[in-house]
Structure 1
Amino acid sequence: MSYSITLPPGRYAMLLRKSREDEEAEAEGQYETLRYHEGQLNRLADSFGIRIAEEDIYRELQSGEILAECHNVLRLVEKVSAGYYVGVLVVSGERLTRGDPVDRGTILSSFTYSRTLIITPQRIYDPTIEQDMFMLEIELLMGRQELGRINYRFANGKVNKSTEGQYLAARAPFGWDKIVVDRRKTIRPNSDAPLVVSWYEELAAGRTTCGRIADDLNARGVPSPTGGLWTALTIAQIIRNPVNKGYVRWGLQKTVTEFTSDFQKVKRRYRADDEDVVLEKGLHEGIVSEELWAAAVANITHETRKRRSYEQRDPLAGLLVCAGCGRAMHRVTCGEGIPERYTHPSVNRRECWQTGATVADVMALLSESLQAVCADMAVADDEGEDERKATLKRADLMEADAAEAQAGIERLFRLVEKGFIEDEDFYARKVRLDERIKEDRKQAAMLRGEAEGMLDTEQRMTYLRQAIAEVEDYEGRAREVNEVLKRLLDRIEYRKEKGGQPHIEVWLR
């Protein structure tokens, strides 16, 4: 479509964004969406005589529904809110967002308050014209409804294809390669398949465990599917995969969108109920029989349940980590008459050369470290309250400055509406005030965080004294000691070079 109007001078941006329909079309071998749309919008820009720099082209490869997940769209919205652009070119209004009312409101407000034009091949939306914004809101709402229909069709299509026996996961499991036969997705065994079969045979016969298989693979230098070291969990996941007995599974995990306590949207994944999971005979042939698969899975399930039946024995579980590699240290039994030790899991001994120490030595060091922290707190307590008040006062000043800058923006809007200042002057002043507000709020939040860390010193010292008493009497009370320490500590870093003495450093919450 050609326009007979002239756009105002200034800087323009272009938004290129995929949708679910585009992904489906590309999967069928049709045109590459972003390149096609870029050509379309470049022709539109040429018709207006405007040039868009490469750094002002925002290519969003995600088709996500949440604005926070679409990083390039989010960058554009931040620039628009700051009055950086005169207008934004986009294929259609609904390409701005098909998100929920919160995201729609965020995007519409950024264009409305900055007076940024939305330019499409069909229409130009001027945020200063109420009818234009009303039409845009309707288009975004219709786009949201269409997204719901697309999501339903997309999910239903996946279920139907899985029911037919197609393999739809993004990656092939270990021992398999993805292929397409008669336009249907499936898998076939590769050179690693005999290795997987041997694991089933050994596990079913009770001659090995997942941990021993992982240790053997690491000793032989065989890379894991992710390129790192093998673990017992990785082996167990491969063994439990029904693909190996000739089945396909779909929908094992569900994704839901939730609000956090600070009203941020996040996606959570959880295991679906068994009745919601598709488990069907696949188009491929299995590499093991159903009987062999069931016997191996039963053995590793029995092994896992047996381990979980033990009482907690490690008072530092979830706290003690190696300072060299960041991995957890575990309490292990070395044999009759030999003191128990803290050491790395076997999978990590080839990556980190920190050595272990006896449980008694580590607990004695922890007691000494906690006593030192408690003594330091007692010395600093007298000066801490004055420092906390001063920090809070600085935070109040930063927030007051941010409020003053916000009031300045509101005055700017009134001035430009009455024609007392030009648009260019308005944008320049608003950008400076926005940066000032952002920096003030950042500093205020940081200062309040520092002040909060100075609170309740006496209470923290009480917890410390309680923790010291628990650490000195840890035998047979691992769970109780662990609970007390986790209320107080974030982590305990352990270090011991070969031939040296062990050292630990505690990090308070």
Structure 2
Amino acid sequence: MIEGLHKNSQLAVYVRKSRKDEDDSENTLTKHKQQLSEFLEKEGFQNTQWFEEVSSADSINKRPIFVGLLSMIEAGAFEAVVVVAWDRLTRGSQIDSGRVAETLKDSDTLVLTPTKVYDLNNESDEMMSEFESVIARSEYRAIKRRLQNGKITAVKNGKHVNGRAPFPYKYDRNDKKIKIDNEKKKVYDLILNLYLEKHKGTREIAVTLNRKGYTPPSNKPNAIWRKCQVRNLLRSEFTLGYVQYRKTKRVGNQTLLRDPKEMITTKGEHTPVKTKEQHELILKRMAQQERISPRAKKGTHILSGLLVCGVCGGGLTFRKQKKNPKTAKTDDYYIYVRKCMNPINNGKDFCKANKTCKQEVVLDYVYKSMLRHKEEVLDKQKFEEQQEERESGQELINVQERIVEETKESIERLDDLYIDGHINKSKYEDRKSTLQGKIYEAMKEIERIEKDHDLINRVTKEDRLKKWESVDIEELFSDEMGVKEKNEILKLLIEKIEYKREGDNMEIEITYY
């Protein structure tokens, strides 16, 4: 028996299949489980809980089972963690290695392998674990390089290496090749026909496909066709017969296009489903149809990102129209609010609400509304009265928030009871489900109270006063300030502007922060 432990010690057993095990994916977990079972039997341990995972060691956050285990270790649920080797815990970044080591150290949890015991509160064991982490990271980088080099070689040979077969193809497991899926090909041909022959837009094509009940590429439950999917399929080079690698890269939470020099594009071994002429026509038409410039997407119009449809709640867009078609001036135009064309009914129809109108009509209403609202905000007495009403609602919210906190504490106590073996799994899951339902009901009640008492405003009284005292509404709506600057200031003060128009009847409702 290992020193400091006994046969009833609480042990967590963690097994993970990593990338380097891919060639032996069927047997890796079984081999590791057998190896650890023999070790536990030999040492006489009887109180164990197993955790199994198939995941890369690239990042802890991509390993949900291990994240859960780490939380339990942090809470002191186990006296030791059993693994085949130290690198089963982590061989990712130094930050991940440090996080694991500190958790084990602070909770005084041992790490057991069939060949060694690690006590991170022992200086020599800590040094050894750090050394093995460095070796593991080096090995992982080497594996990653081999995988990338393998993918590059495969792409150069015309093979697809980026996940599942793109629409409208399928993967033939017998021939191990990408082949055309005839049913999906019918849908793709319809898309080409609607776009190139019928001159339909991507949004209208998506609606048509949804009406006909065609399954979208994602295959997810309740998924619908969207215009971005149609657009991506139309301009895809894979359907032209090419394969690509290193087309995009991750920067933080964003996916960005790589420099063309970094991309690898070669002729694929799969059969194209469109001609080069069709592809060029698609790109040409898309370039002609680019209705909104990159500047417009970044707030070129004063109400960009603020104006929404009062019927469906979707965002509204704008269009420019020259005041005099014969003039050569590019800055002499009207700006109109477009009719709403957001998809509704699970993508089967367009909203088509709201008759178009000039932006200046909406701006005039916003200007007058902001003048009135600023006066109300700066009227201290009136603001205090409104604040008292909010505070009365806040008391009701506080009651529900206490219920949420107390119930969360109850769940934590329940977790402890289950970990300590005082209740079985069935009772644990039933009780936890009931408590989680109680939290859900309390959160829904908070949402209702906020709505009833106008408590959606999330800024403090002082912040609100400061914002409205600093804004000069006359200057904001003058020609002295740039459009982008106006848009940014309005977004600090206004959450949304709902626009609804039926015939000559127009309704505009502004929600302020």
- TM-score relative to the length of structure 1: 0.70
Are the structure 2 counterparts of residues 501 and 170 from structure 1 closer, same or farther at C-alpha, using a change threshold of 3 Å? same
Give, in angstroms, the shift of residue 496 of structure 1.
5.2
Give, in angstroms, the shift of residue 318 of structure 1.
1.6
Match of 2:378 in 1: 378
Instruction: Supply the distance in 1 between the matched residues of 2:88 and 2:311 (Cα, whole angstroms).
Output: 48
Secondary structure at the aligned position of 1:276 is classed as: coil
Are the structure 2 counterparts of residues 329 and 162 from structure 1 closer, same or farther at C-alpha, using a change threshold of 3 Å? same
Instruction: Supply the distance in 2 between the matched residues of 1:192 and 1:377 (Cα, whole angstroms).
Output: 58
Contact kept, 8 Å, 1:201 with 1:292, in 2: the verdict is: no
Secondary structure at the aligned position of 1:88 is classed as: strand
Instruction: Supply the distance in 1 between the matched residues of 2:376 and 2:14 (Cα, whole angstroms).
Output: 56
Secondary structure at the aligned position of 2:73 is classed as: helix
Match of 1:308 in 2: 293
Give, in angstroms, the shift of residue 488 of structure 1.
3.7
Are the structure 2 counterparts of residues 51 and 331 from structure 1 closer, same or farther at C-alpha, using a change threshold of 3 Å? farther
Instruction: Supply the distance in 2 between the matched residues of 1:143 and 1:36 (Cα, whole angstroms).
Output: 20
Match of 1:144 in 2: 137
Q: What is the identity percentage for the equivalent residue pairs of Structure 1 and Structure 2?
A: 23
Query: Aligned to 2:232, which of 234, 237, 251?
Result: 237
Give, in angstroms, the shift of residue 102 of structure 1.
1.8
Q: Which amino acid aligns with 2:79?
A: V
Instruction: Supply the distance in 2 between the matched residues of 1:124 and 1:310 (Cα, whole angstroms).
Output: 61
Paired residues for 1:239-278 under 5 Å:
239-256=234-251, 266=252, 268-278=254-264
Match of 1:279 in 2: 265
Match of 2:13 in 1: 14
Instruction: Supply the distance in 2 between the matched residues of 1:147 and 1:463 (Cα, whole angstroms).
Output: 55
Residues 417-453 of structure 1, C-alpha deviations (whole Å, 9 max, x = no match): xxxxxxx9xxxxxxxxxxxxxxxxxxxxxxxxx9984
Instruction: Supply the distance in 2 between the matched residues of 1:367 and 1:137 (Cα, whole angstroms).
Output: 63
Instruction: Supply the distance in 2 between the matched residues of 1:112 and 1:331 (Cα, whole angstroms).
Output: 59
Contact kept, 8 Å, 1:354 with 1:497, in 2: the verdict is: no
Q: Which runs of 5+ in 2 are unaligned?
A: 324-333, 389-419, 421-456
Match of 1:447 in 2: none
Instruction: Supply the distance in 2 between the matched residues of 1:248 and 1:34 (Cα, whole angstroms).
Output: 34
Instruction: Supply the distance in 1 between the matched residues of 2:482 and 2:126 (Cα, whole angstroms).
Output: 66
Contact kept, 8 Å, 1:322 with 1:354, in 2: the verdict is: no
Instruction: Supply the distance in 2 between the matched residues of 1:507 and 1:18 (Cα, whole angstroms).
Output: 52
Instruction: Supply the distance in 2 between the matched residues of 1:90 and 1:125 (Cα, whole angstroms).
Output: 11
Query: Aligned to 2:75, which of 74, 82, 88?
Result: 82
Residues 170-201 of structure 1, C-alpha deviations (whole Å, 9 max, x = no match): 2322222122454x442324223244245446
Instruction: Supply the distance in 2 between the matched residues of 1:341 and 1:11 (Cα, whole angstroms).
Output: 66
Give, in angstroms, the shift of residue 99 of structure 1.
1.8
Q: Which amino acid aligns with 2:285?
A: N
Match of 1:345 in 2: 341
Match of 1:421 in 2: none
* Larger relative contact order (Cα-Cα within 8 Å, sequence gap ≥ 6): 1
Paired residues for 1:383-402 under 5 Å:
none
Q: Which amino acid aligns with 2:370?
A: L
Q: Which amino acid aligns with 1:99?
A: G
Q: Which amino acid aligns with 1:328?
A: G
Are the structure 2 counterparts of residues 267 and 131 from structure 1 closer, same or farther at C-alpha, using a change threshold of 3 Å? farther
Give, in angstroms, the shift of residue 238 of structure 1.
0.8
Instruction: Supply the distance in 1 between the matched residues of 2:370 and 2:201 (Cα, whole angstroms).
Output: 40
Instruction: Supply the distance in 2 between the matched residues of 1:210 and 1:247 (Cα, whole angstroms).
Output: 23
Query: Aligned to 1:187, which of 179, 185, 189?
Result: 179
Residues 446-480 of structure 1, C-alpha deviations (whole Å, 9 max, x = no match): xxxx99845555540135443x7645x69x97545
Q: Which amino acid aligns with 1:109?
A: E
Q: Which amino acid aligns with 2:12?
A: A
Give, in angstroms, the shift of residue 149 of structure 1.
0.3
Residues 296-318 of structure 1, C-alpha deviations (whole Å, 9 max, x = no match): 222223332x6538977742212
Q: Which runs of 5+ in 1 are unaligned?
A: 257-265, 388-423, 425-449
Secondary structure at the aligned position of 1:300 is classed as: helix
Are the structure 2 counterparts of residues 112 and 494 from structure 1 closer, same or farther at C-alpha, using a change threshold of 3 Å? same
Instruction: Supply the distance in 2 between the matched residues of 1:286 and 1:188 (Cα, whole angstroms).
Output: 9
Are the structure 2 counterparts of residues 152 and 324 from structure 1 closer, same or farther at C-alpha, using a change threshold of 3 Å? farther
Contact kept, 8 Å, 1:354 with 1:498, in 2: the verdict is: no
Query: Aligned to 1:294, which of 280, 302, 306?
Result: 280
Match of 2:55 in 1: 62
Contact kept, 8 Å, 2:378 with 2:469, in 1: the verdict is: no
Query: Aligned to 1:319, which of 279, 290, 306?
Result: 306
Give, in angstroms, the shift of residue 278 of structure 1.
1.8
Match of 2:317 in 1: 330
Instruction: Supply the distance in 1 between the matched residues of 2:254 and 2:294 (Cα, whole angstroms).
Output: 29
Q: Which amino acid aligns with 1:461?
A: W
Instruction: Supply the distance in 2 between the matched residues of 1:18 and 1:207 (Cα, whole angstroms).
Output: 51
Give, in angstroms, the shift of residue 365 of structure 1.
5.0
Are the structure 2 counterparts of residues 167 and 364 from structure 1 closer, same or farther at C-alpha, using a change threshold of 3 Å? same
Secondary structure at the aligned position of 1:138 is classed as: helix
What is the number of residues matched between the two proteins? 423
Are the structure 2 counterparts of residues 339 and 118 from structure 1 closer, same or farther at C-alpha, using a change threshold of 3 Å? closer
Give, in angstroms, the shift of residue 67 of structure 1.
2.6
Q: Which amino acid aligns with 2:76?
A: G
Secondary structure at the aligned position of 1:242 is classed as: coil
| Residue 172 (1) aligns with residue 189 (2) | no
Give, in angstroms, the shift of residue 156 of structure 1.
1.0
Match of 1:261 in 2: none
Instruction: Supply the distance in 1 between the matched residues of 2:144 and 2:194 (Cα, whole angstroms).
Output: 44
Are the structure 2 counterparts of residues 98 and 313 from structure 1 closer, same or farther at C-alpha, using a change threshold of 3 Å? closer
Q: Which amino acid aligns with 1:506?
A: T
Are the structure 2 counterparts of residues 174 and 324 from structure 1 closer, same or farther at C-alpha, using a change threshold of 3 Å? farther
| Residue 118 (1) aligns with residue 111 (2) | yes
Q: Which amino acid aligns with 2:288?
A: H
